[in-house]
Amino acid sequence: MTATADPPPPNSKAYRKKRLLGPGFWLMIIFSLVCVTAGAVVAVYGPRLFADLRSRTPAAKGVGLFNPPAVPFAQQPSIPPAPSTQTANTAGGVILDASSDLAQRLVRLEATEARLADTASALQAVAALSDAARGSQPFAQALKPLAGRPALAADIAALRPLAATGAPSRAALATGFAKYAALAAGAGRLPADNAGLLGQARYAIGRIISVRQVGPAPGGGLDAVLGRAEALAADGDVEAALASLQALPPAARDAMAPWRDKAARRVEADRRIGELRNRVLADLPATAGAPR
């Protein structure tokens, strides 16, 4: 069986009527009345009050709330003038000149780089030519990379005959010197036409048994000259060996003629190639120091 709650007494709060308008509503009504009253006061007494305040404040003539004082023309901030056409043209000309100068510098730089590359290529070709000419074989093929250069035309034309046949190497000249030195020693001992029987016999024995001093020796005799020249040739100094052979007697010098011709070709080939290298190198400082 379910228990039911007892009803509230008649005089309790549950039977009282709820108020429709709370305290907040009456506060809003009072605030609105205050605002309306203040607005009416300002509307009625405001012009008179503001007029009294304006008359009591010392101010310049014609200056009011909406009439600010006039500033003298001399004190007004100046507006910078716009650049004239002449100034703009001058600035444009400066920019054009700078651009033109930069373009010219770039052109010179490209030309300098091209010349440097061409010089490096020529130096490589000369180095390859020098290596090919160092042996005893012809080296005409090594001249072809340099053939199209007008500045080197004269040197190349002088080298063509030597390149076609080649020149004996310095090692080959040192090896073949002894053969011609023996012939020179025999020819140098040839007796004169008025030589006696003893001189004739000494020459005949010398042709059968050849005795020659080998190696450098002091003095200006035949064997000493040949010994010094042979030592120089062995050291690769063919130029000095040729110069020392000039001290030989005419007959001995003629006997050394084949060796001397071969040595002269070697010396000329190396000299021509050296001149060719120097001509290419002479253009390198001018190229590297060209204005940029």
pLDDT tens digits, one per residue of 216-230:
556 567 888 999 999
At residue 215, does pLDDT exceed 60?
no
Answer whether residue 233 is part of any domain. Answer: yes
**Closest by alpha carbon to 278, among 151, 131, 160, 115?**
151
Of the two residues 232 and 213, the one the predictor is more confident about is 232
Residue 207 lies in a domain: yes
Q: Is 178 a residue whose pLDDT tops 60?
A: yes
Predicted confidence at residue 18, as pLDDT, reads 54
Tell me, yes or no, whether 55 lies in a domain: no
In the predicted model, is pLDDT for residue 23 greater than 60?
yes
Q: Which of 97-101, 148-152, 159-163, 191-195 has the lowest mean pLDDT?
A: 191-195
Percent of the residues in the chain that have a pLDDT greater than 90, as a whole number: 30
Residue 85 pLDDT: 59
Q: Is residue 5 part of a domain?
A: no
Task: Tell me the three state secondary structure of residue 157.
Answer: helix
Report the domain count for the chain: 1
Of residues 237 and 16, more confidently modeled: 237
**Does any domain span residue 205?**
yes
Query: CB neighbours (10 Å) of residue 119?
Result: 17
Q: Where in the sequence is the domain holding 193, given as residue range(s)?
A: 170-271
* Best-predicted range by mean pLDDT (51-55, 91-95, 155-159, 287-291): 155-159
What's the start-to-end Cα distance of the chain, in Å? Answer: 119
52-56 long-range CB contacts below 8 Å, 24 or more apart?
Answer: none
Rounded CA separation 104/260 (Å): 57
CA separation for the pair 230, 50 (Å, rounded):
133
High-pLDDT (> 70) share of the chain, %: 59
The answer to whether residue 194 scores a pLDDT higher than 60 is no
φ/ψ of residue 86, rounded to 5: -65, -40
pTM of the entire predicted model: 0.56
Most confidently modeled range among 20-29, 112-121, 203-212: 112-121
Q: Is residue 93 part of a domain?
A: no
When mean pLDDT is compared across 100-104, 235-239, 247-251, the lowest value belongs to 100-104
Residue bearing the bigger pLDDT, 205 or 84:
84
